């Protein structure tokens, strides 16, 4: 089965991410991914950006948009964030307000200033930030392998590479350590699928 990243993230994994070995593995994995032409032409490694932001597809952007929406809702309820009193009640006036109003621009700037520390903290600490989708061939041999050795120092770990997927597994293949194939709703927590995909040659 796959290591349960979700259950152990806050207590076990998160404290380890600040270790020099982990920081080195994160940088190496991202740079390797970039250098193989997987990102935009002008993409450069920036330690301030979370690993997931380099991944393929728009999954990270969608995830963060959903997180921000829920965050704003919570901050409005607690009063940390004030509502936009200038927003028109009439729906017919909303388009003009959103597109042309100085008051709306001022409110957006105010809102972004309030939510920025919450966003940055979440990007630095949440599990999803380290799921670098589409980067298994570069991310698992660096990040996941280094982390596996820290979490289970008495296990012998190996990288298992297939055409479709690269994963990290112990020597007798009874435990998978793959942050990319994690699914807490699947009986084997993604481990079965990770092994299957890493065994396929084409």
pLDDT, tens digit, 9 for 90 and up, residues 24-80: 999 999 999 999 999 988 899 999 999 999 998 888 999 999 999 999 999 999 999
CA–CA separation, 157 vs 149, rounded Å?
7
Residue 121 phi/psi, 5-degree rounding, is -65, -45
CA–CA separation, 197 vs 55, rounded Å?
19
Q: In terms of Cα–Cα distance, which of 127, 111, 155, 161 is closest to 141?
A: 161
Q: Find the range with the poorest average confidence among 3-7, 51-55, 100-104.
A: 100-104
Contact 166, 176 (CB under 8 A): no
> What is the CB neighbour count within 10 angstroms for residue 58?
9
Can you give the pLDDT at residue 9? Answer: 96
Q: In terms of Cα–Cα distance, which of 106, 9, 128 is closest to 59?
A: 128
Can you give the pLDDT at residue 77? Answer: 96
Query: pLDDT tens digit string along 170-200?
Result: 999 999 999 987 665 665 556 777 877 888 7
**Residue 128: HSE in the Cβ half-sphere, 13 Å Cα cutoff:** 13
CA distances from 70 to 10, 64, 77, 78 (A): 21, 10, 11, 13
Contact 56, 133 (CB under 8 A): yes
Tokens of 197: 């995909």
Can you give the pLDDT at residue 194? Answer: 83
Contact 193, 181 (CB under 8 A): yes
Can you give the pLDDT at residue 200? Answer: 75
CA–CA separation, 10 vs 64, rounded Å?
19
Contact 138, 32 (CB under 8 A): yes
Residue 70 phi/psi, 5-degree rounding, is -70, -40
């Amino acid at each position: 089965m796959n290591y349960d990243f979700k259950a152990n993230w806050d207590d076990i994994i998160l404290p380890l991410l600040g270790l020099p070995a982990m920081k080195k593995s994160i940088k190496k994995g991202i740079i390797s991914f970039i250098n193989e032409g997987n990102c935009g032409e002008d993409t450069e490694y920036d330690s301030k950006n979370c690993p997931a932001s380099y991944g393929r597809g728009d999954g990270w952007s969608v995830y963060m948009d959903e997180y921000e929406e829920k965050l704003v809702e919570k901050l409005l309820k607690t009063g940390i964030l004030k509502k936009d009193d200038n927003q028109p009640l009439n729906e017919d006036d909303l388009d003009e307000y959103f597109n042309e109003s100085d008051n709306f621009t001022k409110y957006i700037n105010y809102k972004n200033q309030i939510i920025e520390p919450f966003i940055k903290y979440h990007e630095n600490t949440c599990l999803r930030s380290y799921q670098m989708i589409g980067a298994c061939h570069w991310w698992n041999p660096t990040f996941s392998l280094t982390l596996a050795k820290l979490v289970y120092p008495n296990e012998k770990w190996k990288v298992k590479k297939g055409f479709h997927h690269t994963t990290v597994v112990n020597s007798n293949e009874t435990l998978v350590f793959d942050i990319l194939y994690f699914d807490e709703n699947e009986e084997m927590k993604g481990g079965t699928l990770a092994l299957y995909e890493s065994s396929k040659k084409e």
